[in-house]
Amino acid sequence: MAMKVTYNEETQRALFHMNKNAMLASKSIMKLSSGQKINGAGDDPSMFSISERMRERIRSLDRDVLNVQNGTSMLTTAERGVSQIVDVLRSMKALAVNAANDSNTDEDRAILQMELESNRGTINDIVFNTKFNNKILLDGRYDRPVTHYPSTAAHIVDSFSAGDNVTSTSNTGSKSINNFGTFDIAKSFDGSNFSVKVDFSAMTAEGSSYPDALHGKGFSILCGQCDQFINVVFDATKNVYQSTYNKNPTTLNSDAREYVVGVKNVTDKSELASTIFNGMAASRDQTGNTIEVDERHHLGMKRDGNDIYFTKDSVAMLFTNEIVPTDTEPLVFVERETSSLWIQDGTLAGQHINTYIKSLQTQDLKGEIFNDADIATLNSISDSTKRAEYRALLTKADRMTLDDISVATREDAQVAMRVIDGALDYALDEQTTLGAYVKRMNYVDENIMTKTENLQETDSTIRDTDVPKEMTKFVKYNILTQAAQFMLAQINQNGASVLNLLQPE
């Protein structure tokens, strides 16, 4: 081995390996002391970038958990407020049931009426005192927006046939007009004792489903010798027993009439003719197979088996598939300025849950009258007088909210019972909806925590130090560093021996 003074290769190699092993041991010390195998972008740039994005999402998910938990608390607050309102409504129902009994005097009912009014005030107090973070929850400001429907439409769904012909009812065969056709253009019939079959077989739904395709549409019947008109307008939000009759739909024509026929339960065009007959009969509180549509022109309707006819005995009548515009515009729903309660449940824009809370104010506490149970009960009453009384009760209740009821008389108490039953259904439905929201929030909370746990586990795999493995590396590099130090010392001693050659003898 050459012995040199100016340049010693062995020393340089030993020093290089000693410094390298010392550096690697130092990195191991950092990883062991920090608990992370990636302490900066320089350790592993690509995995560092992935880990940082994961950590950003983990922090966002931690915030989401708090969002959902706060949203759950808010919805739970609303649900408990509705629960209190339900309790008050039950008390009001008991008052109405009590007042309906003739064991009470007028003075007793007056006291019951005072208690009823007090309960109404209690409900409104609950509505405006049910708050979360100073947000009033039950006054309807977070209800779903109301859809706006125009009151008039140019044409009924597509085409409307008033029957294949017009026949004489008094002298069969004496007069007939064949191929009456569809209502794509106005059609009329004239003469005495004529009937027109109502037939919607040519009607199509224009890509929509019934009854929505019918809403706001209809037809009109005009007098051929004066300016009277009769509108028949369809309302898909009401059933047939909620149909209404307006004797003066416009101030411009005192002879005008308008029927708004509920078609909520119409699922096929074949049902529409009988629905019109039943709706007109219900709106005028008429029974039987023959009803009066307009007394001035002796226009009526009749049922013959499954067939429905318009009938008349004087004056030419013009049928058209257009509704005559009025100045009152029936079927216009006022759009409410509302917004949903937005609960952010994700880390990206647009990941949220919309929750809605209906108004629980007494002016809005109104359930559906003439529902399936009411109709079943109505149809089960065979006595015509009792049937008419029950229909009148339902008709009155249909026009009332909780603000309108009274128990001052037995008859008022009977109506109040039905209105309160509807209000209870309304409130219980809202309570159930809020309960479903809360349950959904619980599932969302669990899901977010699961996602957070999975991301933390993945990030740990990327970033966290495998201590036994890293400790093995540290011991290895530490031993190699010590060995390099020892060898460097040995090599230095070999270099020092050169001095012996330079010493004088």
pLDDT at 248: 83
Sorting pLDDT into bands at 50, 70 and 90, what band is 188? Answer: very low
Instruction: Looking at mean pLDDT, say which of 5-14, 103-112, 244-253, 320-329 comes out highest.
Output: 103-112
Greatest distance between any 2 Cα atoms in the chain: 162
Q: Which residues pair with 178 in a beta bridge?
A: 165
Sorting pLDDT into bands at 50, 70 and 90, what band is 392? Answer: confident
Strand 257-262 with 229-235, pairing? parallel
Residue 316, pLDDT > 90, answer no
Sorting pLDDT into bands at 50, 70 and 90, what band is 224? Answer: low
Q: Report yes or no: 367 and 428 within 8 Å, Cβ to Cβ.
A: no
pLDDT at 91: 96
Sorting pLDDT into bands at 50, 70 and 90, what band is 184? Answer: very low
Q: Residue 23 CB: number of other CB atoms within 10 A?
A: 12
pLDDT at 77: 95
Mean pLDDT value of segment 33-54: 76
Q: Could you identify the residue written with the tokens 């007090």? A: 118
Q: Per residue in 413-458, pLDDT tens? A: 999 999 999 999 999 999 999 999 999 999 988 988 888 888 888 8
**How crowded is the C-beta side of 496, counted as CA atoms within 13 Å?**
6
What is the CA angle 447-451-453, rounded to 5?
115
Class of domain 40-145+348-366+401-462+488-499: mainly alpha
Residue 464, pLDDT > 80, answer no
Mean pLDDT value of segment 189-213: 66
CA distances from 48 to 45, 51, 55, 59, 348 (A): 5, 5, 10, 16, 22
Residue 281, pLDDT > 80, answer yes
**How crowded is the C-beta side of 471, counted as CA atoms within 13 Å?**
4
Q: Residue 244 CB: number of other CB atoms within 10 A?
A: 20
Q: Report yes or no: 420 and 89 within 8 Å, Cβ to Cβ.
A: yes
Mean pLDDT value of segment 54-80: 89
pLDDT at 433: 94
Q: Pick the range with the lowest mean pLDDT from 22-26, 64-68, 380-384.
A: 22-26
**Domain extent listing, the chain:** 40-145+348-366+401-462+488-499, 165-320
pLDDT at 93: 95
State the SS3 of 208-255: CCCCHHHCCCEEEEEECCCCCEEEEEEECCCCHHHCEEECCCCCCCCC
Instruction: For residue 244, report the phi and psi dihedrals to the nearest 5 degrees.
Output: -130, 155
What is the strand order of the sheet 165-168 is part of? 176-178, 165-168, 194-197, 307-312, 299-304, 290-294
Sorting pLDDT into bands at 50, 70 and 90, what band is 149? Answer: very low
Residue 222, pLDDT > 70, answer yes
Q: Which residues pair with 342 in a beta bridge?
A: 354
Sorting pLDDT into bands at 50, 70 and 90, what band is 151? Answer: very low
Token pair belonging to 209: 């489903």
**How crowded is the C-beta side of 175, counted as CA atoms within 13 Å?**
13
CA distance 259 to 275: 12
Q: Per residue in 153-165, pLDDT tens? A: 333 333 333 333 3
pLDDT at 202: 66
Sorting pLDDT into bands at 50, 70 and 90, what band is 360? Answer: very high
Instruction: Looking at mean pLDDT, say which of 105-114, 349-358, 456-465 comes out highest.
Output: 105-114
**pTM for the full model?**
0.65
Sorting pLDDT into bands at 50, 70 and 90, what band is 378? Answer: confident
Sorting pLDDT into bands at 50, 70 and 90, what band is 305? Answer: confident
Q: Report yes or no: 410 and 100 within 8 Å, Cβ to Cβ.
A: yes
Residue 187, pLDDT > 60, answer no
Where b means 16+ CB within 10 Å and e means fewer, 226-243 reads eebbbbbbbbbebbbbbb
Q: Residue 29 CB: number of other CB atoms within 10 A?
A: 14
Sorting pLDDT into bands at 50, 70 and 90, what band is 136? Answer: very high
CA distance 370 to 368: 7
Token pair belonging to 76: 């739970």
Q: What is the mean pLDDT of the chain?
A: 79
pLDDT at 162: 38
Q: Per residue in 92-115, pLDDT tens? A: 999 999 999 999 998 999 999 999
